[in-house]
């Protein structure tokens, strides 16, 4: 086995791992655990429907789905407090949903309608909601990272207690802004969490082929920064890693780099034919790494979920997603006379 194969094997072992079920969730709140399950199912169905709507030309521009990353998304969001800020990349639909933004508002935004969360101006890659402190998805790879550091600097300057969580893909860790941001975050001891979703491919390039350090969390060592690698298919492991990082940031104003290893079910975007991955391997790993299937088994083993409840949640989610599509279809496009609205910040806006 050569060096590259060893690196792949190590990542796959982490993504394939599952912790003992009942012991892990014995002291957890039942309703909270079921909420995580519901959100993961909602994200899965919402993204499947988004892909379908894109193929029907209801959604324009680019569209990147969280399929296969549901545990990573939900664990990330529920490790934060409502007062904390999120900066995300362009694969952010699930993060918006888990943060509490309604499926109707997100779907309408994907359709470019005025009832969307950014009034039809943002589309798939630029969701934004100040009320939930979801500070946007960003289309430029790594573009959100310096902005998150700036927000963390502002919080520390004001002597606030909020934390900034900056989500990004593995490819963003190879750009200059990433290293500059980690450096500044450590120098100024800022309350920021750098959260890298390692779905093992930066567009069509495997992580090992694009990064000299394939264990991406180790890049934090260059800045003497707290860092950890976690199984992105384990919603509770991701949540707990986030909680630890949030505690460190809030209490000691120290940054953390988290790498969550997950598996992307489809290509980089909806239009990506995904020909750079072996079909048989993708199908096999989907079965092994499906975070919803894993979590379902854990909840069943702990007698917290049965087939009746699974069907009830599936039906609830299906209704919610269909209602979101109908809402988006029936909503109007922004009026032409609002073309120049929202270009500049309103000087009366709350700070």
Contacts of the segment 33-36: beta carbons below 8 A, 24+ positions apart: 33/299, 33/304, 34/299, 34/304, 34/305, 34/309, 34/313, 36/74, 36/75, 36/78, 36/235, 36/236, 36/239, 36/295
Of 174, 199, 259, the closest CA to residue 225 belongs to: 259
User: Which pLDDT belongs to residue 18?
Assistant: 44
Backbone angles phi, psi at 241, to 5 degrees: -65, -40
> pLDDT digit string (tens) for 62-72?
999 999 999 99
Helices (H), the chain: 3-16, 21-25, 30-55, 70-78, 93-98, 103-110, 144-157, 176-187, 207-210, 235-252, 279-289, 291-301, 307-330
> pLDDT digit string (tens) for 255-266?
999 999 998 888
Q: Which residue has the tokens 């909806």?
A: 270
> pLDDT digit string (tens) for 147-174?
999 999 999 999 999 999 999 999 999 9
pTM: 0.90
Average model confidence (pLDDT) for the chain?
Answer: 91
> pLDDT digit string (tens) for 243-291?
999 999 999 999 999 999 998 888 888 887 888 887 888 788 788 889 9
């Amino acid at each position: 086995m050569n060096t590259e194969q060893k690196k792949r094997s190590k990542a796959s072992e982490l993504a394939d791992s599952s912790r003992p079920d009942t012991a892990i969730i014995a002291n957890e709140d039942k309703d909270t655990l079921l909420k995580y399950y519901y959100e993961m199912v909602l994200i899965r169905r919402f993204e499947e429907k988004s892909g379908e709507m894109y193929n029907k030309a209801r959604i324009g521009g680019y569209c990147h789905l969280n399929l296969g990353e549901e545990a990573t998304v939900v664990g990330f969001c529920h490790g934060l407090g409502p007062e904390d800020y999120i900066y995300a990349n362009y694969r952010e639909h699930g993060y918006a949903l888990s943060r509490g933004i309604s499926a109707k508002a997100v779907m309408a935004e994907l359709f470019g309608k005025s009832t969307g969360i950014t009034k039809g101006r943002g589309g798939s890659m630029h969701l934004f909601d100040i009320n939930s402190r979801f500070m946007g998805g960003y289309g430029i790879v790594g573009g959100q990272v310096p902005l998150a550091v700036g927000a963390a600097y502002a919080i520390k300057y004001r002597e606030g207690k909020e934390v900034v969580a900056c989500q990004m893909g593995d490819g963003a860790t190879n750009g200059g802004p990433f290293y500059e941001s980690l450096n500044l975050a450590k120098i100024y001891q800022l309350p920021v969490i750098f959260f890298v979703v390692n779905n093992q491919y930066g567009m069509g390039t495997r992580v090992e082929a694009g990064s000299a350090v394939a264990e991406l969390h180790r890049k934090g060592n260059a800045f003497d920064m707290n860092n950890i690698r976690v199984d992105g298919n384990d919603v509770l492991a991701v949540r707990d890693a986030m909680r630890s990082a949030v505690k460190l940031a809030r209490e000691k104003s120290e940054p953390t780099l988290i790498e969550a290893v997950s598996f992307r079910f489809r290509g980089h975007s909806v239009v990506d034919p995904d020909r750079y991955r072996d079909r048989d391997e993708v199908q096999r790993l989907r079965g092994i790494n499906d975070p919803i299937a894993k979590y379902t088994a854990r909840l069943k083993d702990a007698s917290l979920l049965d087939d009746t409840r699974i069907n009830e949640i599936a039906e609830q989610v299906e209704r919610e997603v269909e209602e979101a599509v109908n809402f988006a279809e029936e909503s109007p496009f922004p009026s032409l006379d609002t073309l120049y609205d929202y270009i500049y910040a309103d000087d009366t806006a709350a700070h």
